[in-house]
A and B are shown apart, each in its own frame.
Chain A
Amino acid sequence: MDIKVRVWRQAGPSTGGKMVTYDVKGISPDASFLEMIDVLNETLILSGDDPIAFDHDCREGICGACSMVINGVAHGPEKATTTCQLHMRKFSDGDVIDVEPWRAAAFPVIKDLVVDRTAFDKIIQAGGYITAPTGTAPDAHATPVPKKDADAAFEAATCIGCGACVAACPNGSSMLFTAAKIAHLGLMPQGQPERDSRVIDMLQAQDDAGFGGCTNAGECTTVCPKGIPLSLIGRLNSDYRKAITKR
């Protein structure tokens, strides 16, 4: 199939950028979206142009590196799918496809479609863990965890930290990301001792990083490749309320 892509090109962190149009001809419908960009890049290199920089790694939907806003939707038109798992058969011959980076002050563009997501690591540093230094653990069966809680914790823990929630949020908020980690750890008995400080510190880190505030708009969950539900934000709010009243 033949398509046109309009891609955000930006040479470096401090330079401006613009949308540039490229023709991609004869691409297989079985190619993934990233493979389409690979093919385009090969032609750009040979014609002496700068290839498009983009983040990607595992290409099987689990590492969370790929990050493209396609026609205004983070990770593109297919639900519950990362960019790397989106295939060209979801588009039609002759389509013009807009490709942009995640847009958020907390995720500054490094080059083209590559953004800096260290802000997410900062949120985890603030409290997204259970303190359990190596060697201190009791036997794994010492504390049974109800299956219901373990399953719910797992669902929350499937977050891949890609940042699509932030990219899609009209407020540029990272609430869904933070809420997923709060829920994962808060649902496990091992996570209880740090539960209050965790929510307070992680929210503070999130504000400090320059993310916007949550207004429950719900765009985040619609683009989340792992389908993290919005209800986890309610859980975070509940944890937060309890934590500050205890203070």
Chain B
Amino acid sequence: MAASGALLVLFLFAHAAGNLKIFVGLPDFDHYAEWLRELGTPLLPHAWFLWIQRVGLLVAIGLHIWAATALTIRAKKARPVKYAHRPKVQGSYAARTMRWGGVIIVLFVIYHILDLTTGHLNPEGGDSNPSARVVADFAPERWYVTLFYVVAVVAVGFHLRHGIWSAFRTLGQQTTKGERRAQAIALTLSVLLVAMYLSVPVAVLTGLVG
């Protein structure tokens, strides 16, 4: 979980950094999208590097989900009879919502790809510029889409807060100082990512970008 999760966190940062390009200007943003596809050429044919990344990501996601499923199945087996009095969450909610949070994130990612990558669910359709799809997506009259994104991104934030901290623990973090550091890193990274991701839809919604 920790290793595949770490790869996914790296991707999230690269993705977020790219997103911010939109604040430089819409054409720059489109240019960045095109550059992603040109990356690796001429060594590799057009868009190959991107596909390699995508396959890598898929493998990481696959491993992450597989590990999560295996753990869930083990957990179910380890407690065949449930408590009649549902246990209170005493640790952290972020920790106890990892599984459902993960499922919500998967559903969101599928929607997100169909919306902004392929354009199937986007008002602009698939043949438009990436920037146009973004602007159309978060237009004020489609506030519910923005709201959905906000909810999903916050869910990602929660998932990361526990995930990153937990990864440190899995990899052997054990000191009090390290504990404070791990918590701080997890919180900072999650808040930073949430802020980076939310800045774009909010900017479009408020007309700052458009």
Contacts and interface: CB of A to CB of B under 8 A. Distances in A.
Interface string B66-83: 000011001101111111
Interface string B46-63: 000000000000000000
Interface residues of A, number: 41
Contacts of A105: 77-80
Interface in A91-116: 98, 100, 103-106, 109
A232 to B, nearest CB: 7
B112 interface: no
A212 B166 CA distance: 17
A210 interface: yes
A213 B75 contact: yes
A230 interface: yes
Contacts, number: 117
Interface in A190-239: 210-213, 215-219, 221-223, 230-235, 237-239
B171 A72 contact: no
B84 A241 contact: no
A237 B174 CA distance: 9
5 contacts: A103-B79, A168-B87, A219-B87, A234-B168, A238-B174
Interface of A: 6, 8, 19, 69, 71-73, 98, 100, 103-106, 109, 168, 170-173, 210-213, 215-219, 221-223, 230-235, 237-239, 241
Interface of B: 1, 70-71, 74-75, 77-92, 95-96, 98, 162, 165-166, 168-176, 178-179
